[in-house]
A and B are shown apart, each in its own frame.
Chain A
Amino acid sequence: AQKVTQAQTEISVVEKEDVTLDCVYETRDTTYYLFWYKQPPSGELVFLIRRNSFDEQNEISGRYSWNFQKSTSSFNFTITASQVVDSAVYFCALSEASGTDKLIFGTGTRLQVFP
């Protein structure tokens, strides 16, 4: 069965702190895709990254970085030097190449960055 778990419901940090959002997934497929989305208070989900199961290289994009580890079925997201504008709900999601046209989302982690 496919499942995405984001155990951290809410995280609060002070500006300039680094913060890591955890994502653990379950799938029986060998080919799958992982995603992170950001949902600011305006409500619109913003695509951040897509990673396929064969690419375990970590990725860095500005202050954002992602750590994909198949051995622990995790795809964690780190924000370095957090800013108030990073405050949002962050969702991790999974899709299986052999599965239906479904994107399975985790329950999200609400990040609050205080000045």
Chain B
Amino acid sequence: ETGVTQTPRHLVMGMTNKKSLKCEQHLGHNAMYWYKQSAKKPLELMFVYNFKEQTENNSVPSRFSPECPNSSHLFLHLHTLQPEDSALYLCASSQAATDYEQYFGPGTRLTVT
């Protein structure tokens, strides 16, 4: 595997379900990110991890819970989501958390029913 991978690519879940999104980077980077991309809205940064430490939480509701066990893996745990949470969730990584270009995964298309 190369670059940034995300699983699953598509996810449909009910509002009472609990699911997790997984991201893995094979680039030797130290920073990882979660973004949300909704229709007709700018890309929204959700969380930033730098050397496994969370350095940014962009006022994300607690129903989204990130986890970064090491610099190569990033999870987004989801529970009791709302229909408006349906979106494309993108993971990215960069050499460090400041100023470096970010490399993105293909995204997980999430639909909350």
Interface residues of A (CB under 8 A from B): 33, 35, 37, 42-47, 50, 52, 91, 95, 97, 100-103, 105-108
Given contacts A91-B43, A101-B31, A101-B50, contact A44 B97 (CB under 8 A): no
By Cβ-Cβ distance, the 4 closest A-B pairs, closest first, are: A101-B97, A45-B104, A105-B43, A44-B106
Nearest Cβ in chain A — how far from B75, in angstroms? 19
Is there a chain A Cβ closer than 8 Å to B102's Cβ?
yes
Q: Which residues of B contact A103 (CB under 8 A)?
A: 33, 45, 102
Q: Which residues of B contact A97 (CB under 8 A)?
A: 98-99
What 1/0 mask marks residues of chain B from 45 to 70 whose CB sits below 8 Å from any chain A CB? 10010100001101000000000000
Number of B residues with CB within 8 Å of any CB on chain A: 26
A44 near B107 with CB under 8 A, answer yes
A106 near B42 with CB under 8 A, answer yes
A102 near B88 with CB under 8 A, answer no
Nearest Cβ in chain A — how far from B109, in angstroms? 8
Given contacts A100-B56, A101-B56, contact A42 B101 (CB under 8 A): no
In the assembly, what is the distance between CA of A108 and CA of B40, in Å?
9
Apart from A44-B107, A45-B92, A100-B56: 15 A-B pairs, beta carbons within 8 A: A35-B101, A43-B90, A44-B105, A47-B102, A47-B103, A91-B43, A100-B55, A101-B48, A101-B55, A101-B97, A101-B98, A102-B56, A103-B33, A105-B43, A107-B42
B101 near A50 with CB under 8 A, answer yes
Nearest Cβ in chain B — how far from A42, in angstroms? 6
Q: Which residues of B contact A108 (CB under 8 A)?
A: 42
Q: Which residues of B contact A101 (CB under 8 A)?
A: 31, 48, 50, 55-56, 97-98
B45 near A102 with CB under 8 A, answer yes
Most buried by A among B48, B99, B102, B106: B99
Nearest Cβ in chain A — how far from B16, in angstroms? 27
Within 8 A of A (CB), among B64-110: 88, 90, 92, 97-107, 109
Q: Which residues of A contact B98 (CB under 8 A)?
A: 95, 97, 101
